[in-house]
């Protein structure tokens, strides 16, 4: 992973580049979490942790946690935005994802002047120049860094929710539709943090 895209934007006159990605669009329970990681012209990829930065799904949990700490220490600014299961059910997962991304930008100590967002869709009604990049978490450093921040932050939130609803084993599957999770839903029924608009939760409720 290199800073080629970020360097191109710096040469075009932008000073603060924000990479945005999310974690938690697919699970049956819990929030969707977006992260924004901002880098400037002085930022360099140095040290073993930053050299490991890539799509969070290609890293182990231990690797992600180590990299998470270094990104927070070395990036110009890092912030997350969270939309819980209620918002997801109310406005749908895509709109909740966009809202979480906007929340992350709003939380920034420094506002980026250009946004690189993972995926094929731009963030609607964003008053900043932006570019949507398909599979950006595998190509662009600041997006990959954001994917790690989002994933670790969401895993932490799911571990907290596991304390509240221990019978569902959220710390193990993080709310995704694994065999274990589906078995627990069948055993105990949906709990308050399950997404009512997602199958099979909505089918169970209808029954």
Residue ranges of the binding site = 21-22, 118
Give the integer Cα–Cα distance in Å for 75 and 20: 13
Q: Are 154 and 30 in contact (CB under 8 A)?
A: yes
- The angle at the Cα of 99, spanning 199 to 43, to the nearest 5 degrees, equals 120
Q: 155, 158, 170: which is closest to 65 by C-alpha?
A: 155
Binding residues for a divalent metal cation: 21-22, 118
Could you give the C-alpha distances from 75 to 8, 38, 53, 95, 101, in angstroms and in order? 18, 6, 13, 27, 18
């Amino acid at each position: 992973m290199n800073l080629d895209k970020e360097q191109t934007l710096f040469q075009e006159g932008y000073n603060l580049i924000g990479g945005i990605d999310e974690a938690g669009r697919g699970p049956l329970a819990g929030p969707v979490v977006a992260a924004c990681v901002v880098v400037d012209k002085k930022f360099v990829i140095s040290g073993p942790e930053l050299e490991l930065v890539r799509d969070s799904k290609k890293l182990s949990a231990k690797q992600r946690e180590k990299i998470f700490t270094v990104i927070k220490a070395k990036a110009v600014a890092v912030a997350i935005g969270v939309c819980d299961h209620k918002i997801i059910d109310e406005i749908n997962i895509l709109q909740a994802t966009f809202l979480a991304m906007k929340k992350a930008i709003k939380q920034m100590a420094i506002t980026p002047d250009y946004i690189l967002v993972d995926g094929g869709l731009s963030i609607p009604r964003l008053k900043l120049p932006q570019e949507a990049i398909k599979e950006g978490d595998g190509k662009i450093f600041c997006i990959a860094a954001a994917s790690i921040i989002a994933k670790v932050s969401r895993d932490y939130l799911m571990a907290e929710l596991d304390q509240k609803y221990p019978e569902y084993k959220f710390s193990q599957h993080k709310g995704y539709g694994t065999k274990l999770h589906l078995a627990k839903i069948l055993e105990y029924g949906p709990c308050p943090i399950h997404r009512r608009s997602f199958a099979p939760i909505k089918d169970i409720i209808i029954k």
